[in-house]
Structures are given as structure tokens and as C-alpha cells.
A and B are shown apart, each in its own frame.
Chain A
Amino acid sequence: MKEKIRIAAGQGFWGDLPDAPVRQVQGGALDYLMLDYLAEVTMSIMQKQKARDPNAGYARDFVPLMKQILPACVERDIKVVANAGGVNVPGCATAVRNVAQELGLGGKVKIGIVTGDDILDRIDDLLNRGVELRNLDTDEPLATVRDRIQSANAYLGAAPIVEALNRGANVVITGRSTDTGLTLGPMIHEFGWAADDWDKLSSGTIAGHIIECGAQCSGGNCQYEWQSIPDLADVGFPIAEASPDGTFVITKHEGTGGRVNVPSIKEQLLYEMGDPHAYITPDCVADFTTIRLADDGRDRVRVCGIKGRPATDSLKVSISFSAGFKAVGTLVYAWPDAYAKAKAADQILRSRLDRLGLKFDQVLTEFVGANATHGPLAGEPSPDLAEVQLRVGVRGDDRAAIERFTKEIAPLVLTGPPAVTGFAGGRPKVEEIVAYWPALIPKSEIVSHVEVLET
């Protein structure tokens, strides 16, 4: 057994710095590269792409990325674990296999394919059998939005990733796996942790939570002494250096920018946290109140002491459904009286919308530069503000009403308060809203499937 393994994070979301994984591979020693591409509504975007083109439906950036890094990964035995497969894992795997062959790496790359998360085609069957998939937040049964569902995926844990690695895969592609499973999987594979060793599984899960958002634990978006964080332009993405006993060190490649210290790790630990006693994943229930952090040298934080509990009998399901339309329009008002002008323009706009008889579920006005982020906590703005952006959003089921709204913004330039600009982008776009429906499903309903594709 190796005494330690280094697992690097290369993407915190689909759209993160494109070169980050390349820099991780080039920057120093690694055993695994973990890439997290999926956010809650990413699956529905991919589902739409697949509906238009049966070969699409996955994180396409992953394929050119593999073209760049696969030779080095094969040469140095760096394994890649990514949930890039989206709603078309086989399609993604085939594209990567083609890349391997183009690069002359045929026979040297085994691609692990993890499926079984996609339950879109099983929704009616599940509902008919009494699996209600009630909304975790509102407790409504899924039947209320049945005809508007666009994607439905259960979150798989580390187990199928471990199976793929055990079967020799050096690239593992999953669909909706948990972000944390992408990091925990390699640890279980390397260290042979038992399926009920809850403390170690929780340690690996928390390591995954820390690095899953990429540079957000190594200096990015860090409140603590942010002005002194060095060279964010060249920010180093995190690396978890894991040991068989479950302890780990968070660090980054030498010579990169950013900062890993106890405060930066604390901030990431608290990011998107619910009840810290019960961080529930398919693999375990981790207890964040047991984490111990210690400085371990420059840009190194040691994490230990983690306790965990048995996993629950359910898996989380992420369902997306169509929920109407929205549009947001903006205009910029200049000094003097910038805020007063923007407020007057909002009143004029609302009067016109009323006169047109347009009905919306919600109309929201924000004054960017005065109160868009902190609302009333920001207090009354200075009367001398240099400029204010008026930002008005509307939402509703009636697409025609939203379309009509988009035609009322630009006319304010000639028919409202003076010193106004910022309409060069033309009319606001009407967007279809894809909303998110979280639910639980009994684990017994979900069977993951692992296949290993030879190149």
C-alpha cells in the first residue's frame, strides 16, 4: 500500500478555468486528477443538448482537455476521475477513447464507465409503485410537476468509482456522482478501506468537500486577509495528500499563487453547509464538528480527528423541471441624482407595465451600486453616487407577457429620466426557467453499473 497519495482538483464547476487541470498535471507530482463538472441544473442543460443531438449531453471541454493531458497522465500513471459524462456517459467515453487512439495510446488507456444514475425513463414506473419523490424542501409529491420534468438523476457515491479503479481503469467517467465521491473513491481503492469504516470514509468525504470547489480553498473567494493573498492570477488549485489512516493534508503545487492556510480551509469547510453534525452522502454521514485543523508548513494544512456514522438508506435525486420564464433588463443612470433617476425610471416602467395589463408572478427591482447585494442593510446611498444601474427582473408562466416586458426597457432612454445609457446589448433575452427538485429515493431502487472500455 502506498503511504500517501496526491489527489488534485482541476475543475470546481463546468466553466472553471480551462487550463487549471493542465497546470495541475504539469505542476508536480500527482496520483489522481479529480474533475467536478456538475452543478444542480447542469444535467438539464445537458439533457436538452442530448435531445438535439444524441451524441451530445456531456461536458464537451473534457475531450480536448484529455487530448492535452492524456499522454502525461499515461506516462506518469496519473489517473483521472471526472463526472464529465453528464447524461451521456457512453458518448463521453467513446470520444475519449477516440482521443486515446489518435494519440497513439491504444492499449494503454482503460476507461471506466459508471452509469445507473439516470432515472428519467423510470419516473412513471417509480411513481406508479408509490415512490413519490417528494420535494425535500416543500414536501410536494413529484406528480405535481410530472409533465414538466427534464432530467432526473440519483447521486451515486464512491463505490462504482472504486470498482472501476479496481478493474484497472485509469480514466473514470461518471454521470451524476457526488462531488465528494470523486475524491473518496481513489482513497478507498488505494487504501482498501472497509465499507463500514465510517471515520475514514468521512475523512475522505471531507477531503472531497474541501477540494471540490477548486481554488475556493486555496485563495479564491477568500475573505480572510484577501488583499495579501499572493498572485491569484496564477492561483494553484488544491491537492489532497491522503494517508491510509484517513488523515490528509491540503496543499498546492510549489510556485503557484494563492494561499492554503487554516482560515482558507475553514471558509471552504463552511461553504454551502447545512447541519454540520450530519453531512449526508451515499457513502457515510460525516460530522464536521470533529474536524481538527493544524498548520503543517507553508501552504499546507493538516486535517485529522474526523468522525463519521453509517450511511443512510436513501440516495438524493436531482430532478429538473421547466418552471416558466424570466427576463432581466438593465439601464445605467449617471450623476447627478443617479439613484433618484433610477428610482424614477423604475416607477415609470412599472406604471407602463400596469397600463399594459401585464401580469407576472414576481417583479424585482434592484439598484446596482446602491443595494443589489445587501438590500436595506446597505442603508440609504450617498446622494452623490457616480452612477447606478437599474436592474428589473420579471418572472411568470406567460411567455408573451415576459416578451412584452423586454420591449419596455430601451424606450426609457428617450422617454424617462436623463443621463442614461447601457442599452447597447439590445432587448433583454427571455429565458426558460429550469427549476430544481431535490428528493430522496431508497438505495434499493438504484443499481449502478460499471463497464471498462479498452482502447
Chain B
Amino acid sequence: MKVILTQLAHARSGDKGDTANVGLIALREEWYPLLAREVTAARVKGHFGAICKGEVERFELPNLGALNFLLHESLGGGGTLSLMTDAQGKTFSTALLRMEIDVADEEASRLGLS
């Protein structure tokens, strides 16, 4: 079954120059391994498509049940240079929460998702 990340995680994002960071935090600790397995750097790069012109880096924080993504070249130059409404990438957090992942029915039921 398809599960949208808003059901699994909360998030906050910010900027470092022309790079947006998105922190993705599991709503329940037991959901973190699923996020760590499915929400890869490549999947996030694909999800953001043309919005993210550079690479996506991913870091794991199992102690917080969280992943941190760096989306390089995503903010139209960043800071004061950018013409974007969201020049600081503040809404990239909820943009990532739109992503859907595939979860096997058995696992979804074990994790209380279905």
C-alpha cells in the first residue's frame, strides 16, 4: 500500500546559502527504520525534481528517530539573491511530507499503518 509521509513523520526545514535542509522526524520511534529504508537520498532527489538542481545528501540520526537531508542548489541563489517567496526553504519541510512510499501490507499492519 502507498503511505504518505505526513502519516509517518513531522519535519522542519531551513537554509544554508543556496542549500535547503529538511529534517524528517518519525512520529513514532518504531517507524524510523521504515523511513531510513525508504526515504533515500535518491528518492528525495526524484521527489523534488526540478526544484533541487544539485545533489541531495542524507544523514541519519537514529538517536532522534530522524533523517536530515541537504538539497543543494534549491533556493534560487539563496538568502537575499533569491527571487523565490520561500528563499529560506521554510516550506520544503511540508513539501517532503507530500512524498509517498510503498509499504507491504503485512508490514503496514504490523506497524499499525493500515
Chain A positions near chain B (C-beta within 8 angstroms):
40-41, 137, 221, 223-224, 263, 266-277, 288-293, 305, 323, 326, 328, 362, 364, 366, 368, 372-377, 391, 393-395, 433-436, 438
Q: Are B81 and A275 in contact (CB under 8 A)?
A: no
User: Cα distance A374–B48 when bound, in Å?
Assistant: 9
Residue B53 at the chain A interface, CB threshold 8 Å: no
Partner of B85 from the list A270, A274, A391 (CB cut-off 8 Å) is A391
User: Cα distance A433–B80 when bound, in Å?
Assistant: 6
Partner of B98 from the list A268, A291, A364, A374 (CB cut-off 8 Å) is A374
Q: Are A362 and B64 in contact (CB under 8 A)?
A: no
Which chain B residues border A291 with CB–CB below 8 Å? Answer: 63-64
Residue B2 at the chain A interface, CB threshold 8 Å: no
Residue B40 at the chain A interface, CB threshold 8 Å: no
Q: Are A270 and B25 in contact (CB under 8 A)?
A: yes
Q: Are A377 and B48 in contact (CB under 8 A)?
A: yes
Q: Are A376 and B50 in contact (CB under 8 A)?
A: yes
Partner of B10 from the list A263, A293, A368 (CB cut-off 8 Å) is A263
Given A270-B68, A272-B16 in contact, is the A375-B61 Cβ separation under 8 Å? no
Given A223-B94, A292-B63, A376-B50 in contact, is the A272-B15 Cβ separation under 8 Å? yes
Which chain A residues border B60 with CB–CB below 8 Å? Answer: 289
Which chain A residues border B76 with CB–CB below 8 Å? Answer: 362, 364
Q: Are A267 and B50 in contact (CB under 8 A)?
A: no
Nearest residue in A to B78 (C-beta to C-beta)?
A436
In the complex, besides A269-B64, A364-B76, 20 extra interface pairs with C-beta distance below 8 angstroms are: A137-B17, A263-B25, A266-B25, A267-B10, A269-B23, A270-B23, A272-B14, A272-B15, A273-B21, A274-B70, A291-B64, A362-B83, A373-B95, A374-B95, A374-B98, A393-B83, A393-B84, A433-B81, A436-B17, A436-B78
Q: Are A376 and B51 in contact (CB under 8 A)?
A: yes
Q: Are B93 and A223 in contact (CB under 8 A)?
A: yes
Nearest residue in A to B26 (C-beta to C-beta)?
A266
Q: Are A372 and B81 in contact (CB under 8 A)?
A: no
Partner of B91 from the list A40, A374, A433, A438 (CB cut-off 8 Å) is A374
Q: Are B79 and A377 in contact (CB under 8 A)?
A: no
**Interface of chain A, helix or strand or loop or mixed?**
mixed
Q: Are A137 and B18 in contact (CB under 8 A)?
A: yes
Nearest residue in B to A274 (C-beta to C-beta)?
B16
23 A-B pairs whose Cβ atoms sit less than 8 Å apart in the complex: A223-B12, A224-B25, A263-B10, A266-B23, A266-B65, A267-B23, A267-B25, A269-B23, A270-B66, A276-B59, A277-B59, A305-B63, A328-B83, A364-B76, A364-B84, A374-B95, A375-B51, A375-B95, A376-B49, A377-B49, A395-B81, A434-B80, A435-B80
User: Cα distance A364–B86 when bound, in Å?
Assistant: 12
User: Cα distance A268–B13 when bound, in Å?
Assistant: 9
Which chain A residues border B91 with CB–CB below 8 Å? Answer: 373-374
User: Cα distance A372–B95 when bound, in Å?
Assistant: 11
User: Cα distance A374–B60 when bound, in Å?
Assistant: 25
Residue B35 at the chain A interface, CB threshold 8 Å: no
Q: Are A289 and B80 in contact (CB under 8 A)?
A: no
Q: Are A276 and B51 in contact (CB under 8 A)?
A: no
Partner of A266 from the list B62, B64, B90, B98 (CB cut-off 8 Å) is B64
Question: Smallest CB–CB gap between B64 and chain A, Å?
Answer: 5
User: Cα distance A376–B64 when bound, in Å?
Assistant: 31
Which chain A residues border B68 with CB–CB below 8 Å? Answer: 270, 273, 276
Residue B11 at the chain A interface, CB threshold 8 Å: yes
User: Cα distance A395–B76 when bound, in Å?
Assistant: 11
Which chain B residues border A373 with CB–CB below 8 Å? Answer: 85-86, 91, 94-95
B89-102 interface code vs A (CB 8 A; 1 in, 0 out): 01101110010000
Partner of B63 from the list A268, A290, A368, A374 (CB cut-off 8 Å) is A290
Which chain A residues border B10 with CB–CB below 8 Å? Answer: 223-224, 263, 267
